[in-house]
Chain A
Amino acid sequence: EVQMVESGGGLVQPGGSLRLSCAVSGFTVSSTCMSWVRQAPGKGLEWVSVICSGDNTYYADSVKGRFTISSDNSKNTLFLQMNSLRPEDTAVYYCAAFYGGFDPWGQGTLVTVSS
């Protein structure tokens, strides 16, 4: 059974850092592209970042230089290191595999950036 479980969200002050994790079972993270997508409260979906073949990474302009996506094949886990966080980064963060479309998705983890 495929499962993707995010963790690491929480409340952080502006300028702070968080590291999100997405533990995957049922397939290997190195077998496809893996991505983060976020959704601010009451808003639409925003693609954040993707990692393909373990080392090709791409980012939305809004997070470039502040966020880093990575994966650990031994733990079969996807990560998102988020630095210099801003209030506008407040959102539910979903991890998702990508096979022509984002599928499957995790349940999401809430990140709140506020003082």
Chain B
Amino acid sequence: EIVLTQSPATLSLSPGERATLSCRASQSVSSSLAWYQQKLGQAPRLLIYDASNRATGIPARFSGSGSGTDFTLTISSLEPEDSALYYCQQRSNWPWTFGQGTKVEIK
């Protein structure tokens, strides 16, 4: 099973700042990685698929990069509504797996 390790566990930043979230895979997943945002009490929402493709309706301040084992989700300028949990997920190998999540707090 591919283990996805996300860091940091919590990120506390001010509006307008840049957020950089990391996801590291225990073995290569090529570009088969997605990112999700989950707000309290809501279902997750797809942000990025195939490492760097923004999903429909996702603001341009969200971007993804990386391949192989190291991936990054960047929020270029934080908005108050970006306060949420963020998960990465791989579909390269069975079983599909999620990272443990990074919590983004807005000061």
Contact = CB atoms under 8 A, between A and B. Distances in A.
Nearest to B55: A103
A100 to B, nearest CB: 4
A60 B95 contact: yes
A68 interface: no
Contact of B101 (A44, A99, A102, A108): A44
Given A105-B43, A106-B43, A108-B43, A47 B95 contact: yes
B29 to A, nearest CB: 13
Contacts of A106: 43
A103 B38 CA distance: 13
A27 interface: no
A contacts with B: majority SS: strand
Contact of B36 (A46, A61, A102): A102
Interface stretch (B20-28, B44-52, B66-74): B44-52
A102 B95 contact: no
A61 B95 contact: yes
B65 interface: no
Nearest to A103: B46
A17 B12 CA distance: 42
Interface of A: 37, 44-47, 50, 58-61, 94, 98-103, 105-108
Given A94-B44, A102-B36, 20 more contacts: A44-B98, A45-B38, A45-B44, A45-B89, A47-B89, A47-B98, A58-B95, A59-B95, A98-B91, A100-B34, A100-B49, A100-B50, A101-B46, A101-B55, A101-B89, A102-B34, A103-B45, A103-B55, A106-B43, A107-B43
